[in-house]
Amino acid sequence: MSLANILVRLGLAVSLAVAAASHAYLYVHGYHHIPMIGAAFLAQASVSFALALLILIGGPAWLRWAGAAVAGGSLVAFVMSRTVGLSGFFERGWDPAPYAAVSVTAEVITLVLWGFGGRLWLRARQTTSV
């Protein structure tokens, strides 16, 4: 495994853990009272922490896809909560600050690293098949 792949794996683990920590904090500090939304925050935090750990210790590549799916889903839910609502739940702007910005940044970084890791994989595959 190349240094670039190791760094991508480490970056994915860190970005997933940061997003998970932000969601866990918000769950504990008030969101657990919101029907459906509280459970979604708890599930997002739990799954993201688990994926971060498994990616960090070198789990299979499909875990990276799962991490990207969780991050992408969280971003979609964030946008929905600020536009059309999510199960009757609405928020405005970047509240709760700074956790909204931290989560969105971490999730975008997760998607960027996932895309970069996929390009590395494709490049390695093309050079070995020639």
Per-residue pLDDT of the chain (130 residues; tens, 9 = 90+): 789 999 999 999 999 999 999 999 999 999 999 999 999 999 999 999 999 999 999 999 999 999 999 999 999 999 999 999 998 999 999 999 999 999 999 999 999 999 999 888 878 777 776 5
Which pLDDT score, from 0 to 100, does residue 121 have? 82
The answer for residues whose C-beta is within 8 angstroms of residue 95's C-beta and 6 or more apart is none
What pLDDT does residue 129 have?
Answer: 61
Parent domain of 31: 3-129
Total number of domains in the chain: 1
- Global pTM reads 0.92
Task: Please list the residues that pair with 89 across neighbouring strands.
Answer: 86
